Amino acid sequence: MDAIELACKLIEFDTSNPPGNQRECADYIADYLKSFSNVRIYEKDGVRNVLAELTFSRGEPTLAFNGHWDTVPWSPEAWVTHPLKPVIHGGWLYGRGAADMKGGLAALISAFEDVSGLEGLEGKLFLMAVGDEETGGFKGTRHLLSRTGLRPDYVLIGETTDLLLKVGRRGIIQAKLKVYGDEMHSSRVYLSYVSSIEICSELTLLVKRLDPGDAGDIMPRTTFAVTIFEAGVKENVVPRVANMHIDIRNTPKVSSRDVEALLKRELERLKEKYGEFKYELDVREAAKPYIIRDSYFVRVLEDIYRKLGLTPTHDAGGGASDGRFFVEEGVRNVVEVGPIGKNIHGINEKVEAESILQTQRIYREAAIAILRSGGTDFARKSCT
């Protein structure tokens, strides 16, 4: 079975998350891998995570392929075809999870199978096919790392990157805000009053424009987006309380303290316009940002790109990924490389079929480069 056929098979499984506790896809992957590798299952709250291992020698180095099988929920309305019935049209493979990330996962599995038949390699190659990535990864990659103690020297993640070398990710900061205003009958708004809804409405527009001036050449600036807005008790009552949730994606130059200070500054400014009001602000870091563009593994992949006739281009945009869990454990050689995708999380999600095969070749060459390097190149990588 080639990588495109395998991607089609994986798409046919409903792995929408939530609930994210489906077993069929993970079991299929485990059975597929058992014929040529050592496979173990690690389960957390119904989420099945597959860890396959190829051992070429007892020593170093160790390389891990990482990909997730869960997808966001789907609805067949407005799709050209059913989300779980993959179709290839015009060179694109359509289906829920085609781009995020069953296309990349199929390429990882196929490359893993390719490498299993090679000789002259040293160290170990792992394949981590995990769940829960779409809802945080704590039952997936985080759990697997905690249970096994695995700390790979190199990590290659197959998230869709449009063939860019993703060498960093912004972090996640979550801010919860509760604003207290005046509760009153809606017919009396000609009187002086403080409206929690009006304050939060203006803040929604203000935070969208906040720019700490921290953008880099490959990493976007810190962004603020209001994702939840709750207020109101009755149609003719101006409510006392309005609640907001602000999702912040931060660069390494902006901390949670910086975010809290920025939001408080804007809230104090709003008091000058709307009058005195009370508020409660809770700011918490959910994921740390990172950027590692000068590692040994990046240089290896750049060489592979040139060998395959591709131009290596760095990127550090997009949302968070499971890469952060490896970085938190001190792994300095973490890179994401994946196929070309469109409409991720949306209607008619698709992945370019040829790019699945292209990434399979990249993964295979990366494994050969690392596992044939032996002790010489391995010793150098720990310094970067």
Task: Give residue 318's pLDDT.
Answer: 87
Q: Is the same domain home to 274 and 309?
A: no
**Are the C-beta atoms of residues 97 and 71 closer than 8 Å to each other?**
yes
Q: Is the same domain home to 11 and 103?
A: yes
Q: Is the same domain home to 193 and 205?
A: yes
Q: What is the CATH number of the domain that holds 122?
A: 3.40.630.10
- Encode 229-258 in three state secondary structure: EEECCCCCEECCEEEEEEEEEECCCCCHHH
| DSSP secondary structure, 112-176, as one string | HHHHHT--S--SEEEEEEES-GGGTSTTTHHHHHHHH----SEEEE----TT-EE-EE-EEEEEE
Give me the chain's average pLDDT, please. Answer: 95
For range 102-130, the mean pLDDT:
97
CA angle 129, 130, 132 (to 5 degrees): 160
Strand order in the sheet with 350-352: 87-89, 92-94, 350-352, 341-342
pLDDT tens profile 48-89: 999 999 999 988 899 999 999 999 999 999 999 999 999 999
DSSP tag of 16? B
Q: Is the same domain home to 317 and 283?
A: no
Q: What is the CATH number of the domain that holds 193?
A: 3.30.70.360
Q: Is the same domain home to 152 and 297?
A: yes
Q: Which of 287, 307, 335 is the last residue of a domain?
A: 287
Q: Which of 260, 287, 314 is the last residue of a domain?
A: 287
Rounded Cα distance between 218 and 157, Å, is 19
Q: Is the same domain home to 209 and 122?
A: no
CA distances to 65, 148, 240, 264 from 325, rounded to whole Å, are 14, 14, 41, 30
pLDDT band at 17 (very low <50, low <70, confident <90, very high): very high
Q: Is the same domain home to 106 and 240?
A: no
pLDDT band at 44 (very low <50, low <70, confident <90, very high): very high
For range 132-159, the mean pLDDT:
97
The four Cα atoms 344, 346, 348, 350 give a dihedral, to 10 degrees, of 0
Q: Is the same domain home to 10 and 134?
A: yes
Q: Is the same domain home to 43 and 120?
A: yes
For range 305-315, the mean pLDDT:
97
pLDDT tens profile 287-299: 999 999 999 999 9
Task: Give residue 373's pLDDT.
Answer: 64
Q: What percent of the chain has pLDDT over 70?
A: 97
For range 12-18, the mean pLDDT:
97
Rounded Cα distance between 245 and 203, Å, is 11
Task: Give residue 58's pLDDT.
Answer: 83
Q: Give SS3 for 93.
A: strand
Q: Give SS3 for 189.
A: coil
CA distances to 16, 30, 122 from 129, rounded to whole Å, are 15, 9, 22
Task: Give residue 95's pLDDT.
Answer: 98
The separation between CA 113 and the C-alpha centre of its own chain, rounded to angstroms, equals 25
Provide the domain count of the chain.
Answer: 2
Q: Is the same domain home to 42 and 103?
A: yes
Task: Give residue 212's pLDDT.
Answer: 94
Range(s) of the domain holding residue 243:
171-287
Rounded Cα distance between 220 and 226, Å, is 18
| DSSP secondary structure, 302-341, as one string | HHHHHHTT----EE--SS--THHHHHHTT---EEE----E
For range 223-234, the mean pLDDT:
96
Q: Taking the CA atoms of the chain, what radius of gyration do you get in angstroms?
A: 24
Task: Give residue 374's pLDDT.
Answer: 56
141 Cβ neighbours under 8 A, 6+ residues apart: 49, 66, 68, 128, 130, 132, 133, 322, 325, 326
Q: Which of 268, 287, 306 is the last residue of a domain?
A: 287
The four Cα atoms 273, 274, 279, 283 give a dihedral, to 10 degrees, of -40
Task: Give residue 383's pLDDT.
Answer: 40
Task: Give residue 380's pLDDT.
Answer: 46
Q: Is the same domain home to 16 and 146?
A: yes
**Are the C-beta atoms of residues 222 and 170 closer than 8 Å to each other?**
yes
pTM for this entry: 0.91
Q: Is the same domain home to 274 and 313?
A: no
